[in-house]
Chain A
Amino acid sequence: MPFLIFIEAVSYIARVLSLSIRLFANMMSGHALLKILIGFS
């Protein structure tokens, strides 16, 4: 039972970090893609 509490706590806290990394990576990749496509023209 303490092991389950530990796993739940880790997954609850890691969700914040992983979602913020996901937003950051999506914004950065979108801007880099736009920059590359502008460079082709």
Chain B
Amino acid sequence: MTNTTPVVALKNLLTIANAPLDQFEVMSVYSAGETILFNNLSLVLMLNLGMMIVFLNMYNFNLTNNFDFILRNIYQLVQSVVRANLYIRKQQYFAVLFYLFLTLFVANLVGLLPYSFTVTSSFIVTLFISLLHFIGVNIVGASQHG
């Protein structure tokens, strides 16, 4: 990845790619030295995190608008899956599963936008998510049953 100014990087991001595999190209948006690298993958990951924070902070328990109904329906969907598949004592891990569902939901929803980037189509993201939950599940299992 070469050093580019942010204007050139934005122009590169908005260019329509011709080849089918050009959409997975990770290009530098901002880089300062060797330690700070900011590419379009980190840009879209920050966008996803910001959308998740905005979604969860916009929720109002009084159900004032349609958005609250959508978020409550997502919550009840994950809750029904967790209640159908886990013991009652293991349902305390509902928050982890809800966070995982919301992460993948927002990532694929942002990927549907034109000129955007789907973070789950890059291997480092899927490997990170799977290793994170694998190590966590092993630690919890070893501490409770070991």
Known: A24-B120, A24-B121. A31 touches B24 (CB 8 A): yes
- In the complex, which residue of chain B has the Cβ closest to the Cβ of A36? B20
Selected from B23, B118, B127, the residue in CB contact (under 8 A) with A20 is: B127
Using a CB-CB cutoff of 8 Å, which residues 11-41 of chain A contact chain B? 16-17, 19-21, 23-24, 27-28, 31-32, 35-36, 39
Q: What is the size, in residues, of chain B's interface with A at 8 Å between Cβ atoms?
A: 17
Whether B127 lies near A17 (C-beta < 8 A) is yes
**Cα distance, A20 to B123, chains bound together (Å):** 7
Contact B126–A20 (Cβ < 8 Å): yes
Residues in A with CB closer than 8 Å to B17 are 35
Interface residues on A, range: 10 to 19
Contact between chains at B131 and A16 (CB < 8 Å): yes
Q: A23–B120 contact, CB under 8 A?
A: yes
**Interface residues of A: mostly helix, strand, loop or mixed?**
helix
Q: Give Cα A16–Cα B130 distance, bound, in whole angstroms.
A: 6
- With contacts A24-B121, A24-B122, A27-B120 known, is A35 near B23, CB below 8 A? yes
1/0 per residue, CB under 8 A from A, across B22-47: the answer is 01100000000000000000000000
Return the chain B residue nearest A19 by Cβ.
B130
Cα A24 to Cα B121 with chains together (Å)? 5
CA distance A16 to B138 in the complex (A): 12
Which residues of chain A have C-beta atoms less than 8 A from B134's C-beta? Answer: 16
Q: Which chain B residues have a beta carbon within 8 Å of chain A's beta carbons?
A: 17, 20-21, 23-24, 111, 118, 120-123, 126-127, 129-131, 134
Listed A/B pairs (10) with beta-carbon separation below 8 Å: A20-B126, A20-B129, A21-B123, A21-B126, A23-B126, A24-B123, A24-B126, A27-B121, A27-B126, A32-B21
